[in-house]
């Protein structure tokens, strides 16, 4: 089985279309979506429509999906995120808002190998920022391979009997991480629509369960077009600017 894993699309239609076009020739059977379909970007309805039509094998909500659909208040958001999510709530059709509101929380088991979550397996809203966070998340995961999002940083941690480390120490992309049976893995496929690791290219991953490997990819997309859409909708300028920096 080959799974396409995507996360943190954030209503960036240009990035989403580019990722799907890049993933198609690589070949995959099913799609896993790790949450944050909306928020920040200018095309929340187009993204919801496309994901609904795609009908992913596994799909969980992110914090922006909760707030953007009215499930939760924007209390914990900073000023820019709050302004964007207010706009998102108003922009969403009633149908898409209702659909987003009904998305399940992670973690969600996909098969014997994989589970997905937005933030961590113990708290959908918690961030994995450092090694301690990663270890805690790996211990909470009920599958050897836990795919997560939320940080918008494409990264892979591993934990074997006596070693803990980064599978992504090499910054080359695409990068294939081989999964050995004795280790646990915590891998972020990267953000499709708002990367924050200094690389503005859209991120995604393909998990091949037969080959026991995960490959992470980055792909250039029309950033200027996504920026123009953000400004056109009157969203905060900084949301357009950060896309070019990948911050």
Q: Give residues in contact with Zn ion (CB under 5 A).
A: 8, 36
Min dist. Cβ of residue 127 to Zn ion (A): 10
Residue nearer to Zn ion on the CB measure, 32 or 159: 32
For the chain, what is the radius of gyration of the CA atoms? 17
Residue nearer to Zn ion on the CB measure, 8 or 124: 8
Give the count of beta carbons closer than 10 Å to the beta carbon of residue 139.
11
Residue nearer to Zn ion on the CB measure, 84 or 207: 84
Min dist. Cβ of residue 9 to Zn ion (A): 9
Q: Which residue has the tokens 């499930």?
A: 71
Min dist. Cβ of residue 35 to Zn ion (A): 7
Residue nearer to Zn ion on the CB measure, 11 or 223: 11
Min dist. Cβ of residue 192 to Zn ion (A): 10
Min dist. Cβ of residue 40 to Zn ion (A): 8
Q: How far is the C-alpha of 156 from the C-alpha of 123, rounded, in Å?
A: 19
3-state helix, strand, coil in the chain (%, to 5): 35, 20, 45
Strand order in the sheet with 175-178: 58-59, 30-33, 2-6, 202-208, 213-219, 175-178
Residue nearer to Zn ion on the CB measure, 127 or 164: 127
Handedness of CA 150, 242, 87, 75 (dihedral sign): positive
Q: Which residue is nearest to Zn ion (CB)?
A: 36
Handedness of CA 153, 134, 164, 204 (dihedral sign): negative
Residue nearer to Zn ion on the CB measure, 36 or 124: 36
**Measured in whole angstroms, how far is the alpha carbon of residue 221 from the centre of its chain?**
16
Min dist. Cβ of residue 39 to Zn ion (A): 7
Burial of 67 (0-12, 13-18, 19+ CB in 10 A): buried
């Amino acid at each position: 089985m080959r799974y396409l894993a995507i996360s943190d699309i954030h209503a960036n239609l240009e990035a989403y279309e580019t990722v799907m076009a890049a993933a198609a020739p690589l070949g995959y059977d099913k799609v896993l979506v790790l949450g944050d379909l909306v928020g920040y970007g200018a095309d929340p309805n187009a993204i919801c429509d496309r994901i609904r039509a795609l009908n992913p094998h596994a799909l969980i909500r992110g914090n922006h999906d909760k707030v953007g659909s009215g499930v939760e208040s924007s209390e914990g958001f900073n000023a820019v995120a709050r302004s964007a999510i207010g706009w998102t709530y108003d922009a969403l059709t009633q149908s898409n808002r209702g659909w987003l509101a009904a998305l399940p929380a992670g973690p969600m088991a996909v098969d014997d190998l994989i589970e997905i979550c937005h933030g961590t397996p113990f708290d959908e809203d918690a961030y994995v920022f450092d090694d301690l966070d990663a270890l805690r998340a790996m211990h909470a995961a009920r599958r050897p391979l836990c795919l997560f999002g939320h940080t918008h940083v494409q990264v892979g941690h591993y934990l074997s009997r006596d070693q803990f480390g980064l599978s992504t120490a090499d910054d080359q992309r695409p990068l294939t991480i081989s999964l050995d049976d004795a280790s646990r893995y915590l891998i972020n496929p990267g953000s499709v629509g708002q990367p924050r690791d200094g690389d503005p290219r859209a991120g995604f991953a393909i998990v091949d369960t037969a080959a026991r490997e995960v490959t992470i990819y980055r792909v250039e997309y029309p950033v200027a077009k996504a920026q123009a859409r953000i400004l056109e909708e009157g969203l905060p300028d900084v949301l357009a600017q950060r896309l070019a920096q990948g911050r």
